[in-house]
Amino acid sequence: MTDLTDQPDLVIRHGTVITATAIFPADVAVTGEQIVAIGHDLRGRREIDATGQYVIPGAIDGHVHLGMPIGRFTSTDDFFHGTRAAAFGGTTAVVDFVETGPEETMREALAARQAVAADTVIDYGLHMTIGPTDIAKLDQLAEARAAGCGSVKLYMAYGLRLTDGDLLLALQRAADAGAQPVVHAENWDVITTLIARNLAAGRTTPHWHPRSRPAELEGEATGRVIDIAAYVGAPVHIFHVSCAATVERIATAKARGLPVTGETCPQYLTLTDEVYDRPGVAGALPVCSPPLRPAADRDALWRALSSGALDLVTTDHCPFTAAEKATGLGNFSQIPGGVPSIESRLALVYAGLVGDGAPDPAALSRWVDVCCTTPARVFGFGRKGQLLPGYDADIVLFDPTRNFTITPDSLHETAGWTPYDGLPLRGWPTTTISRGEV
Ligand code: DUC
Ligand code: ZN
Ligand code: ZN
């Protein structure tokens, strides 16, 4: 009789392992929550046949807003539903946000947000938001970092925006605490002026949303925060890059040798600003900020992702229902901003980078790099993002031949609509393993 006691709990057999640097046939063995071996002819107490499938590290989505109150509404996917949808899409860790009330300490706010996040079904992290009232609390950053908050979110737009002086202070203290700054970079003064001018002229439809948030000024704000970060010697990660103007600023900074990274999101890679001209609420649904841009910007983002000018893809998943979006139909600036993408990111990026022909090995590795490996590094998941013994057993099986049409019913997101409705894809995740749990 075979003695099973020494065998791994689980072996994924006969798959093709794809990492950010290599592609090879191998079995992956898991015991408890960790990967214990990668090799050939491995046997386990439980086995999954991955013949014909890609075996990749669990994807990491470093920018989500789950059950987050924004303005009058709260984003529809709470931690349970949002992370469940993420898991169905091959994502095994997300990073959400903490906001500290004026009378609260960062530790108190962190504990409160962790309680909200308790029903997550995958691992998660939290960015510590530094708003204007938190500048007086920057000495708490080291403690927040020790409590597991490895990154700080800085806004250059909305009510939580910082002045350039406060940006400098926050960037400097984040660097001192060893925390990674992540930034929403737009020029708020220009945006509010353009919104007011457009509304005063009766230009109230979603068509005017991208025309109130110019790409050039997203690039300008990005360049400004990069320069401030460089002055104080801080790294900086630029959130949701939507346009070529911002890519250029990031590429220039990289060429200067600065520790600057940038992300984009599936909505900017897949959709263009023409969707804002759809009639009725259909034109309001894709309102997000920065806005969707013309096709030339979308194409520049794909090139930047392939070339390395952009480093990774997150979702900025922040869904609102159609009824909530419709409340802003008479005034585009009141439409709650954000779209759902948490479940389809991995497959959408696969479709764009790898496509449907004979797969290019470099493109396959780049896909894993931008969805899994680089996000783990930038967002501080030390034992995720790679398939190595000792790493968390966050593993995804992806079937490159599986046909999948995105519809609200084919997803587990709860907004009731998806910006990718009707999009046919070839390639979809079939199995997600989160710290050993299938
Ligand atoms: N833009 C943001 O900056 N955050 C949430 C959603 C959005 O569209
Ligand atoms: Zn943002
Ligand atoms: Zn966001």
Provide the pLDDT for residue 68: 93
- pTM score > 0.85 for this model? yes
- The rounded distance, in Å, linking the Cα atoms of 259 and 236 is 7
Judging by DSSP bridges, how do beta strands 59-61 and 69-70 pair with one another? Answer: unpaired
Q: What is the mean pLDDT of the chain?
A: 97
Provide the pLDDT for residue 357: 85
Phi then psi for residue 415, to 5 deg, are -70, -25
- If one residue of 99, 240, 275, 333 were mutated to test the ligand 1 pocket, choosing by the most ligand atoms within 8 A of its CB, it would be 240
What whole-number percentage of the chain has pLDDT above 70? 99
| 404, two tokens | 């999948």
As a three-state string, the secondary structure of 338-393 is CCCCCCCHHHHHHHHHCCCCCCCHHHHHHHHHHHHHHHHHHCCCCCCCCCCCCCEC
338 C-beta closer than 6 A to ligand 1: yes
Provide the pLDDT for residue 358: 87
- The rounded distance, in Å, linking the Cα atoms of 213 and 246 is 13
Per-residue pLDDT of 4-24, as tens digits, reads: 668 999 999 999 999 999 999
- If one residue of 73, 158, 271, 316 were mutated to test the ligand 1 pocket, choosing by the most ligand atoms within 8 A of its CB, it would be 316
- The rounded distance, in Å, linking the Cα atoms of 150 and 131 is 17
Per-residue pLDDT of 396-423, as tens digits, reads: 999 999 999 999 999 999 999 999 999 9
Q: What is the DSSP letter of 321?
A: -
317 C-beta closer than 6 A to ligand 1: no
Residue 50 near residue 56, CB atoms below 8 Å: no
The answer to whether residue 82 scores a pLDDT higher than 90 is yes
The answer to whether residue 2 scores a pLDDT higher than 80 is no
Q: For atom 5 of ligand 1, which residue has the closest CA?
A: 338
Q: For atom 3 of ligand 1, which residue has the closest CA?
A: 289
Q: How many angstroms separate the alpha carbon of residue 386 from the centre of ligand 2? A: 27
Q: How many angstroms separate the alpha carbon of residue 312 from the centre of ligand 2? A: 15
291 C-beta closer than 6 A to ligand 1: no
- If one residue of 66, 183, 288 were mutated to test the ligand 1 pocket, choosing by the most ligand atoms within 8 A of its CB, it would be 288
CA atoms within 13 Å, Cβ hemisphere of 398: 33
Q: How confident is residue 3, by pLDDT bands cut at 50, 70 and 90?
A: low
Region 190-195 average pLDDT:
98
Among all bound ligands, the one having the nearest atom to the CA of 336 is 1
- The rounded distance, in Å, linking the Cα atoms of 136 and 106 is 11
374 C-beta closer than 6 A to ligand 1: no
Residue 221 near residue 156, CB atoms below 8 Å: yes
318 C-beta closer than 6 A to ligand 1: yes
Per-residue pLDDT of 372-385, as tens digits, reads: 999 999 999 999 99
Region 152-173 average pLDDT:
98
316 C-beta closer than 6 A to ligand 1: yes
Residue 250 near residue 262, CB atoms below 8 Å: yes
Whole-angstrom CA distances from 259 to 97, 102, 265, 306 are 23, 31, 21, 19
Q: What is the DSSP letter of 329?
A: T
228 C-beta closer than 6 A to ligand 1: no
Provide the pLDDT for residue 1: 45
Which of ligand 1's atoms lies nearest the C-alpha of 184? 3
Q: How many angstroms separate the alpha carbon of residue 105 from the centre of ligand 2? A: 23
Region 273-293 average pLDDT:
98
DSSP lists the bridge partners of residue 64 as 317
